Amino acid sequence: MGEASSALLALRAGAVNYIFRPSPGPATGPCVVLLGGTAQTIHSLVGHHHALTTEHGRRCLLHFELRGQGRTTSLPLEQCGLDTHVDDMRQLLDASHFAVGDNKPVDLVGFSFGGRVALAVAATMPHRVRRLVVTGVPADRGATGRVILKAWSAALRRGDLEGFLWQSVADAHRCACACARMCVV
């Protein structure tokens, strides 16, 4: 499929970074829309593009970064709730130069927070989703998860990005894994 390159698409509130790959030949299925997790950039999942577009027929693929990820930095971060992400997705799907416009249903694939967004899109726009695949999405974060999110939010409100990143490592990895990475850093 060649080297993946990304581009920016203007939305009402700013620009979103995306990769669009047309179907490798006449399409035999709906477009796949890929949503990565919180700490992933658009290039984190590029290795999956070929399989997602050719394993079960030929399909187009739309992969984009959510607000605050990678190059998608011009979208305001004051409101990053699921309703905002759903609206971003609606605008992307409606973009006239994508083969997914005209309310054609897509297959959504979401990992971690991207899975949460995919679930919200499917609940809000069920007519736009043919199939939903999510992984790494807990049904409930539990008390510990809510405390972790509050700590991350407080660090980001203070503008302490480095503190946020170190807190993320501590919260997301077991001690042995985090300590092994500390030696690399």
**Whether the Cβ atoms of residue 67 and residue 84 lie closer than 8 Å to each other:** yes
The alpha carbon of residue 124 and the mean position of all alpha carbons in its chain are separated, in whole angstroms, by 17
Please report the sign of the dihedral spanned by the C-alpha atoms of residue 33, residue 74, residue 169, residue 4: positive
- Greater pLDDT, 179 or 44: 44
Q: Comparing 5-19, 56-70, 163-177, which segment has the lowest mean pLDDT?
A: 163-177
- 16 phi-psi bin (left φ>0, alpha ψ -120 to 50, beta other): beta
Query: Each residue of 109-145: pLDDT tens digit?
Result: 999 889 989 999 999 999 999 999 998 887 666 787 7
**7-135 to CATH, choices 2.60.40.10, 3.30.70.260, 3.80.30.20, 3.40.50.1820:** 3.40.50.1820
Is residue 48 classed exposed, middle or buried when 0-12, 13-18 and 19+ CB atoms within 10 A define those classes? middle
Query: Each residue of 23-77: pLDDT tens digit?
Result: 778 888 888 899 988 778 777 888 888 888 887 778 888 888 887 777 766 666 6
**Whether the Cβ atoms of residue 67 and residue 19 lie closer than 8 Å to each other:** no
- Greater pLDDT, 37 or 6: 37
What is the per-residue pLDDT for 173?
Answer: 55
What is the per-residue pLDDT for 175?
Answer: 56
**Whether the Cβ atoms of residue 94 and residue 106 lie closer than 8 Å to each other:** no
Q: Average per-residue pLDDT in the chain? A: 78
Q: Cite the residue boundaries of each domain of the chain with CATH code 3.40.50.1820.
A: 7-135
Considering only CA atoms, which of 54, 72, 73, 56 is closest in space to residue 64? 72
What is the per-residue pLDDT for 103?
Answer: 65
